[in-house]
């Protein structure tokens, strides 16, 4: 028969092993219940725009010059004339072009680059699907690229643009049907290709140019309108993102963790980074801003799309609810006049890809702020750049996190050492504290006075020991958002079973090791205070372990390494304090 103490230990080990196996089984069940992300071979195209359901019309009907908003369809996607920076006459489609386009089927052109696969609908020239070949949907399906934009039976997320105004080719009745020489364009490594869409109008020729670069997620969009009439033509460019409110198909966030932002953002003179989500529009109505330059973006976890107009022009931004439950985030540029025989030009840039803050910073001012690190961004941004620099040295994000922990620990060493010296003093006075508690167990007021007198006499500070625990917390929170928001760490492997530092440890080894390190640290701390407080403190390692089970593995790795370094520093400071005490006595 085993002694009772051994029996308890064996029982605890058996319970812990059972709990571990149950958590693994639960995690396997959760993973098995997740539906695989499946995409159609190609996006939907509008085969008969005249038969579209209400709310799908994309240009408002003609309005009187006195009231541009009159007779405008409330479900129209395309901005009305009242949104033009300079007032224009009501919109009218060229009659001959409309007659020519009636009954023709709309198709698409597909452009493939090493970074993007883009489908462009020839009806209107809208971008109706964007795939990201370098970013698989998840670690287990590396052959399935992430689809960022898509027009499908289950999702509407497209990038629209066109020319509106008195002579703009886009109207509610009929958007232009473009033609292209090659409907399947391949852009090789190091290449730049221009895809030209052409539409013949009654008195003009409209061209829509897309410029793709092999290793870039930024696409140049340019309109050219050649005036073949004898009169001045007037038109303005609009660009917008049309999206429903559904979450992304491959949502990588964990339900119990803080959720990534899903919604629109823009920059204004008053706010460098202004977020407007679906609820804001539903509750407060549309948002309208006039901004010099600027940008409009739609954000989700790790990725975004954004329209960026020329920095020197003044644009009217609009964020509103459209028809059929969709939302429209875009801008209208200034009205331009094209003289007879001349060719007018309008330009914009469209970005669809990862939240690469270095690249976004190059594209437009404040666009890098869409990598949202929360209220501790001033801590998170330096942490990211330090982590990125360390990664450039070692080539492994897990090793970079370990080195980052060492650097942070070294910077905080003087402050944490002071806290550990205070804890060493508390350890030294712990026996006297226990005697006081036994002597004055029935007189709490007397106990408090005697304890304060003892602290003063021995130079001990019970709050000083909190410093080592509180110091890493802002860095911990900031690093959480760095790991959670930085696309560079998405699907980044460490070693062995850790194939993705941005998701939880599949076998929970790191959280369990972190919990064990917390328990070890606790054994080094003085056990003083109210018995109930002592019991609560003993529960902390268990509570933190359960909490950290579902945190990103990279974050748990940081906390584990931080605990190990803290234990080493704590023991070193304790020995130094004991030597100093022995020398003084």
Rounded CA-CA distance 77/84 in Å is: 15
User: pLDDT (tens digit, 9 = 90+) per residue, 345-360?
Assistant: 999 999 999 999 999 9
Q: Percent of the chain having pLDDT more than 70?
A: 75
What confidence score (pLDDT) does residue 32 get?
A: 55
Which of 57-71, 139-153, 455-469 is the least confident region? 57-71
Average pLDDT over residues 317-324: 90
Which letter does DSSP use for residue 106 in this model?
Answer: P
Q: Following DSSP, what letter does each residue of 177-197 receive, concatenated?
A: B-B-S-SEEE--TT-EEEEEE
Q: In the chain, helix, strand, coil percent, each to 5? A: 40, 25, 40
Both tokens of 574, joined, read 């304790």
What confidence score (pLDDT) does residue 58 get?
A: 44
Which has the closest alpha carbon to 275: 407, 366, 202, 365? 366
Could you tell me which residues come within 8 angstroms of residue 343 by beta carbon, excluding any fewer than 6 positions away? Answer: 224, 225, 226, 227
Rounded CA-CA distance 37/141 in Å is: 9
- The more confident residue out of 530 and 216 is 216
User: pLDDT (tens digit, 9 = 90+) per residue, 63-105?
Assistant: 322 333 333 344 567 776 666 655 333 333 333 333 344 334 4
Asked if pLDDT for residue 483 goes beyond 60, the answer is yes
Radius of gyration of the chain, Cα coordinates, nearest whole angstrom: 31
Rounded CA-CA distance 543/507 in Å is: 18
φ, ψ of residue 36 to 5 degrees: the values are -65, 145
- The more confident residue out of 22 and 65 is 22
- The more confident residue out of 402 and 69 is 402
Rounded CA-CA distance 38/479 in Å is: 33
What confidence score (pLDDT) does residue 24 get?
A: 60
- The more confident residue out of 8 and 418 is 418
Q: Rounded to an integer, what is the distance from CA 173 to the centroid of its chain?
A: 38
Task: Return mean pLDDT, the chain.
Answer: 81
Which of 113-122, 300-309, 473-482 is the least confident region? 473-482
What confidence score (pLDDT) does residue 354 get?
A: 96
Let me know: does 465 contact 425? Beta carbons within 8 Å: no
Rounded CA-CA distance 259/240 in Å is: 25
Helices (DSSP H) in 342-486: which residue ranges? Answer: 357-363, 377-394, 397-411, 413-439, 444-458, 467-470, 472-485
Q: Following DSSP, what letter does each residue of 432-454 receive, concatenated?
A: HHHHHHHHTTT-HHHHHHHHHHH
pTM across the whole model: 0.79
Average pLDDT over residues 300-319: 95
What confidence score (pLDDT) does residue 481 get?
A: 86
- The more confident residue out of 250 and 491 is 491
- The more confident residue out of 35 and 204 is 204
Let me know: does 233 contact 337? Beta carbons within 8 Å: yes
Which has the closest alpha carbon to 166: 226, 80, 96, 233? 233
Domain residue limits, the chain: 46-247+320-350, 380-579
The three-class DSSP label of residue 316 is strand
Which letter does DSSP use for residue 355 in this model?
Answer: -
Q: H or E element: which one contains 547? A: helix 531-548
Quote the crossing angle between the two packed helices 377-394 and 472-485, to the nearest 10°: 70
Q: Following DSSP, what letter does each residue of 269-294 receive, concatenated?
A: SS-SSEEE-HHHHHHH--EEEEEES-
Asked if pLDDT for residue 106 goes beyond 80, the answer is no
Let me know: does 268 contact 337? Beta carbons within 8 Å: no
User: pLDDT (tens digit, 9 = 90+) per residue, 241-267?
Assistant: 999 999 987 665 555 566 789 999 999
Which has the closest alpha carbon to 489: 360, 562, 399? 399
Both tokens of 572, joined, read 């070193």
Cα end-to-end span (Å), the chain: 50
Average pLDDT over residues 540-551: 83
Q: Which residue shows structure tokens 């190609």? A: 42
- The more confident residue out of 211 and 24 is 211
What confidence score (pLDDT) does residue 217 get?
A: 97
Q: Following DSSP, what letter does each residue of 193-224 receive, concatenated?
A: EEEEEEEE-SSEEEEEEEEEETT-SEEEEEEE
Let me know: does 501 contact 441? Beta carbons within 8 Å: no
User: pLDDT (tens digit, 9 = 90+) per residue, 267-281?
Assistant: 999 999 999 999 999
What confidence score (pLDDT) does residue 411 get?
A: 87
What confidence score (pLDDT) does residue 476 get?
A: 79
Strand partners, 530: none
CATH of domain 46-247+320-350: 2.70.98.90
Which letter does DSSP use for residue 465 in this model?
Answer: G
Average pLDDT over residues 392-401: 94
Rounded CA-CA distance 113/133 in Å is: 9
Average pLDDT over residues 142-156: 91
Q: Which residues of 267-295 are buried (b: 16+ CB within 10 A; e: fewer)?
A: beeeeebbbbbbeebeeeeebebebeebb
- Compute the C-alpha angle 157/365/259, nearest 5°: 45
Average pLDDT over residues 307-332: 93
Let me know: does 333 contact 315? Beta carbons within 8 Å: yes
3-12, 52-61, 166-175, 505-514 — which one is most confidently predicted on average? 505-514
Average pLDDT over residues 168-182: 85
Both tokens of 479, joined, read 């690093």
What confidence score (pLDDT) does residue 432 get?
A: 77
Rounded CA-CA distance 405/564 in Å is: 10
Which of 31-45, 311-325, 530-544 is the least confident region? 31-45
């Amino acid at each position: 028969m085993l002694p009772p103490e051994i029996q308890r230990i064996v029982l605890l080990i058996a319970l812990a092993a059972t709990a571990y196996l149950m958590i693994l089984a639960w995690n396997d069940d959760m993973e098995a219940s997740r539906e695989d992300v499946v995409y159609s071979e190609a996006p939907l195209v509008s085969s008969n725009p005249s038969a579209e359901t209400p709310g799908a019309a994309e240009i408002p009907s003609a309005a009187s010059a006195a009231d541009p908003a009159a007779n405008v369809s409330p479900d129209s996607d395309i901005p009305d004339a009242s949104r033009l920076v300079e007032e224009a006459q009501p919109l009218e489609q060229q009659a001959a072009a409309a007659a020519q386009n009636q009954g023709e089927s709309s198709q698409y052109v597909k452009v493939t680059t090493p970074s993007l696969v883009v489908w462009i609908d020839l009806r209107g020239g809208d971008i109706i699907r964007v795939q990201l070949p370098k970013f698989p949907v998840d670690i287990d399906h590396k052959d399935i690229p992430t689809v960022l934009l898509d027009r499908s039976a289950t999702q509407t997320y497209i990038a629209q643009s066109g020319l509106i105004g008195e002579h703009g080719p886009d109207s509610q009745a009929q958007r232009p049907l473009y033609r292209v020489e090659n409907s399947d364009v391949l852009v090789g490594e190091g290449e730049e290709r221009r895809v030209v869409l052409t539409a013949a109008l009654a008195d003009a020729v409209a061209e829509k140019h897309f410029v793709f670069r092999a290793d870039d997620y930024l696409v140049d969009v340019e309109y050219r309108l050649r005036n073949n009439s004898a009169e001045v033509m007037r038109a303005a460019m609009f660009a917008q993102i049309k999206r429903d409110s559904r979450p992304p198909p491959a949502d990588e966030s964990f339900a119990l963790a803080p959720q990534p932002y899903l919604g629109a953002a823009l920059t204004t003179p008053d706010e460098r980074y202004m977020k407007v989500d679906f609820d804001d529009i539903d509750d407060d109505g549309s948002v309208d801003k006039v901004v010099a330059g600027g940008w409009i973006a739609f954000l989700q976890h790790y990725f975004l799309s954004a329209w960026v107009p020329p920095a020197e022009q003044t644009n009217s931004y609009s964020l509103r609810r459209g028809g059929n439950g969709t939302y429209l985030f875009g801008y209208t540029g200034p009205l331009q006049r094209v003289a007879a025989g001349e060719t007018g030009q309008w330009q914009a840039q469209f970005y669809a890809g990862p939240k690469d803050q270095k690249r976004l910073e190059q594209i437009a001012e404040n666009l890098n702020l869409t990598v949202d690190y929360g209220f501790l961004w001033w801590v998170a941004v330096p942490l990211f750049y330090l982590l990125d620099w360390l990664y450039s040295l070692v080539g492994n994000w897990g090793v970079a996190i370990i080195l980052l922990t060492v650097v942070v620990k070294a910077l905080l060493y003087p402050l944490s050492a002071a806290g550990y010296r205070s804890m060493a003093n508390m350890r030294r006075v712990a026996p006297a504290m226990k005697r006081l508690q036994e002597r004055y167990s029935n007189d709490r007021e007397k106990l408090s006075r005697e304890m304060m007198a003892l602290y003063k006499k021995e130079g001990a500070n019970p709050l000083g020991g909190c410093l080592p625990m509180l110091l890493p917390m802002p860095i911990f929170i900031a690093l959480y958002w760095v790991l959670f928001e930085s696309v560079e760490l998405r699907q980044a492997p460490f070693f062995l079973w850790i194939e993705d530092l941005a998701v939880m440890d599949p076998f929970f080894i790191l959280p369990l090791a972190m919990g064990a390190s917390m328990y070890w640290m606790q054994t080094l701390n003085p056990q003083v205070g109210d018995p109930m407080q002592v019991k609560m403190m003993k529960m902390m390692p268990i509570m933190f372990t359960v909490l950290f089970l579902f945190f990103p593995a990279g974050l748990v790795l940081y906390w584990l390494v931080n605990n190990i370094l803290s234990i080493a520093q704590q023991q070193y400071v304790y020995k130094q304090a004991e030597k100093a005490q022995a020398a003084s006595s």
